[in-house]
Structure 1
């Protein structure tokens, strides 16, 4: 596996050159983190769909266990059990609007991954960088377990486990463990673990920082060690459930519901009800739960012993256990809504659970309708400092602090932006499909077929994949 070792060292050196400003050595977080034999054990797979552009190019790379959909170029990179989902990339002939300018696209957007190591990472949504509209570039980047790269091109970045970069361009930045940023653009920044930062320049700025010691209970990582904590242990405990699915090319979902799509690479356990127009994405896990009409379980979501009334969004990495959600509830990226049989979590309709919120109930917790929740909540009293009515937030104009949360700007703009985005997600996923139009991902996902790609099994190229160029039959 000498070629694999050489590639890993090359990637680490290139990332470290970019991170010489923050003075971070990513080597202890990458070298030997994944046992070498793992890279040769898993096939990669890609989706074929008549509705999506296809052009996959791989060169001097490893794709172990990864899923690719749309247009993607991978060069001199390792992507390990990573999902590259290009079904929302911009299309040729459309226009990108930015600060009053309308810029036409010359060709379909593609994701370009160079000199990077992505470990169990999700890449999704189109790039929001107005200077590079046709290419979503991930270069000289290390991204660790269960991080999300969502509409976020980056060069020279290090993402800790369970970190999320959302609609934000990164240049030479470190995003700490379980940190979430949606701020537009960052350069030469070190975002500390547990920071949740949402900013719209000139409009609003929301910041919350998890207390470090309590955060370690849920997720932590040290150099030369695997991640630890409740979040990581929870995901690891379900790992075997996916093994049978990935042991063959494709299996059929156990049922079919009108307008709904359940990926054959999702786990759906007994006593689960799937309503119309529901989307269950690959690597999602649903058990003993009811997903009402228009709801979705996106990649790396876990929904267990719970009821979702309808039009619920469970964003990438969201986890919902022993909970009841009213209609139109949004559970953000990597949020952990962890109820127990004797401590059920009830969330009223139209509420928003912020990305990277942790509701770890030690007693029954009831969240009123139309409420925003952030941070760490373990009991009903914690909501006094970690939640607010959306109506009250909409009246804020200026600086407002509550507990460890600091908000500045126009609360109404923050609320409207969130609601607009939730509606867009539901539309894109086909929640409102009435059988007359083309629908969204839930309907189009029914037409995807899957093909596998395998690495060299022995010799100096063991674990590496051959150079390939895959296109539509007529291109």
Structure 2
């Protein structure tokens, strides 16, 4: 395992060099996170379909338990139990967003170098205009269940359950359970439990109180996660590991217009509607997934119903809840209802990323509301929700509890709804008579190919360097 240890040590030294101004040492996280025996046990796998460009290049790396789709390069990196999903990468001839009439001259590729991604999701495409054909992650470490969504990174550390969304970061630390969508950041440290969205026309900012956050997503002295949300995921992790022990699984029953990934867990009395996407490492139990809805990577939908065209973003968890039509549950949100304290969310609601709802009595939130922060009782609703019509009237500054919104509320809502429509379109929710194909249709016939590491010898723990092309 000496080569694997050298690989990890090199990554730590590179990330620490980029973060030296913060006096931040990533070594304890890496040393205490990586399970070297499991980095030998789990195979990696890549998907092949007729709908996605085929190119995979793995070099001097460990990629145990990880999934790859689309064009990907991994060099001198450790990618453990992560999903590198390149089905939304830009294609040759696409125009660069924000810079008209500049077409890409080649298909975009996810490029990961000198980095360690631990149980992390990488998805979408680069939103860095300087590198439109490369979604790059360099000299970066991401912790448990982080989301890297359309965000290029260089010299960064992402804490457990952190999300960076549609942006670019350089030499930054993003605290645990923080969500950031703020353009481009240089040499910034984002406090734990921060939810921050910034554009030219508005800014939304909220920060969890420490005593609440520590209960749900804390870290110990070795920067390992703890708390209610981590325990919830950890208790179900073995259900996914079982899928790696079987080469051929019986397909899960679903309509012909829907796709259920073979690396998803579907249990109990679960019903799946038309035009539904269930991604790898989604967990469904006694769930009803209405037409056009989706369960993205690392989502958990248990004893719950999603009406039509609902979006459950990466890492969203919905337990004992009723979600109305065309509602959105954001990244890493935790809707923790109980059998005697169910959560009801009306139609057209937007549950902001990294929202926690954990009631002891039934909670009901009306249709067309924005929802954020922590809701543990009915009294919390007034300080953590607002009707979308009321938000649309905001022109300057709005403060509700610990949330501050500044700018144009109407632009915020319009932009959010456009993005949700785009997600539904990409996922195939509007598929009809052969039109508007999306992931739910294109992912139906993925063939999976496996790669194994060296188990003995000098390169033990590393995977063979390999280039796979059409």
* 2-structure distance, mates of 1:260, 1:73: 29
Shift of 1:400: 1.1
The answer on whether the counterparts of 1:343 and 1:365 sit within 8 Å (CA) in structure 2 is yes
- Deviation string 1:78-119 (CA, Å, 9 cap, x unpaired) is 000000000000000111131x53321010000110000000
Shift of 1:56: 0.6
Aligned pairs for 1:373-452 within 5 A: 373-437=371-435, 439-452=437-450
- Deviation string 1:30-79 (CA, Å, 9 cap, x unpaired) is 12422221210100000001110111111110000000001111000000
* Residue of structure 2 in register with 1:57 after alignment: 57
* 1-structure distance, mates of 2:444, 2:248: 13
* 2-structure distance, mates of 1:387, 1:438: 34
Shift of 1:399: 1.0
Shift of 1:214: 1.0
* Residue of structure 2 in register with 1:262 after alignment: 260
* Residue of structure 1 in register with 2:207 after alignment: 209
- Deviation string 1:275-332 (CA, Å, 9 cap, x unpaired) is 0001100000000010000000000000000011110000000000000011001000
* 2-structure distance, mates of 1:402, 1:318: 24
* Residue of structure 2 in register with 1:152 after alignment: 151
Shift of 1:253: 2.5
Shift of 1:222: 2.7
* Residue of structure 2 in register with 1:297 after alignment: 295
The answer on whether the counterparts of 2:217 and 2:229 sit within 8 Å (CA) in structure 1 is yes
Q: TM-score, normalised by structure 1?
A: 0.98
Q: Note the aligned Cα RMSD (angstroms).
A: 1.0
The answer on whether the counterparts of 2:151 and 2:167 sit within 8 Å (CA) in structure 1 is yes
Aligned to 1:96, what secondary structure does the other structure show?
A: coil
* 1-structure distance, mates of 2:27, 2:64: 20
Aligned to 1:422, what secondary structure does the other structure show?
A: helix
* 1-structure distance, mates of 2:201, 2:373: 22
* Residue of structure 2 in register with 1:247 after alignment: 245
* 2-structure distance, mates of 1:347, 1:332: 13
* 2-structure distance, mates of 1:465, 1:232: 29
Q: Structure 1 unaligned runs (5+)?
A: none
The answer on whether the counterparts of 2:252 and 2:260 sit within 8 Å (CA) in structure 1 is no
Shift of 1:342: 0.5
Aligned to 1:127, what secondary structure does the other structure show?
A: coil
The answer on whether the counterparts of 1:354 and 1:372 sit within 8 Å (CA) in structure 2 is yes
* Residue of structure 2 in register with 1:44 after alignment: 44
Aligned to 2:443, what secondary structure does the other structure show?
A: helix
- Deviation string 1:130-153 (CA, Å, 9 cap, x unpaired) is 010101110000000000000000
- CA shift in 2, pair 1:205/1:279, >3 Å: same
The answer on whether the counterparts of 2:430 and 2:436 sit within 8 Å (CA) in structure 1 is no
Shift of 1:250: 4.0
Query: Alignment partner for residue 459 of structure 1, among 450, 457, 460?
Result: 457
The answer on whether the counterparts of 1:22 and 1:173 sit within 8 Å (CA) in structure 2 is no
Q: Structure 2 unaligned runs (5+)?
A: none
* 1-structure distance, mates of 2:32, 2:374: 33
Is 1:161–2:160 an aligned residue pair? yes
The answer on whether the counterparts of 1:22 and 1:189 sit within 8 Å (CA) in structure 2 is no
* 1-structure distance, mates of 2:86, 2:197: 24
The answer on whether the counterparts of 1:117 and 1:143 sit within 8 Å (CA) in structure 2 is yes
Q: TM-score, normalised by structure 2?
A: 0.99
* Residue of structure 2 in register with 1:6 after alignment: 6
Aligned pairs for 1:58-97 within 5 A: 58-97=58-97
The answer on whether the counterparts of 1:29 and 1:223 sit within 8 Å (CA) in structure 2 is no
The answer on whether the counterparts of 1:97 and 1:103 sit within 8 Å (CA) in structure 2 is no
The answer on whether the counterparts of 2:254 and 2:273 sit within 8 Å (CA) in structure 1 is no
Shift of 1:225: 5.1
* 2-structure distance, mates of 1:432, 1:250: 31
Aligned pairs for 1:198-347 within 5 A: 198-200=197-199, 202-224=200-222, 226-347=224-345
Is 1:367–2:349 an aligned residue pair? no
The answer on whether the counterparts of 1:334 and 1:355 sit within 8 Å (CA) in structure 2 is yes
Aligned to 1:446, what secondary structure does the other structure show?
A: coil
Shift of 1:28: 1.3
Aligned pairs for 1:97-136 within 5 A: 97-98=97-98, 101-136=100-135
The answer on whether the counterparts of 2:425 and 2:436 sit within 8 Å (CA) in structure 1 is no
* Residue of structure 2 in register with 1:358 after alignment: 356
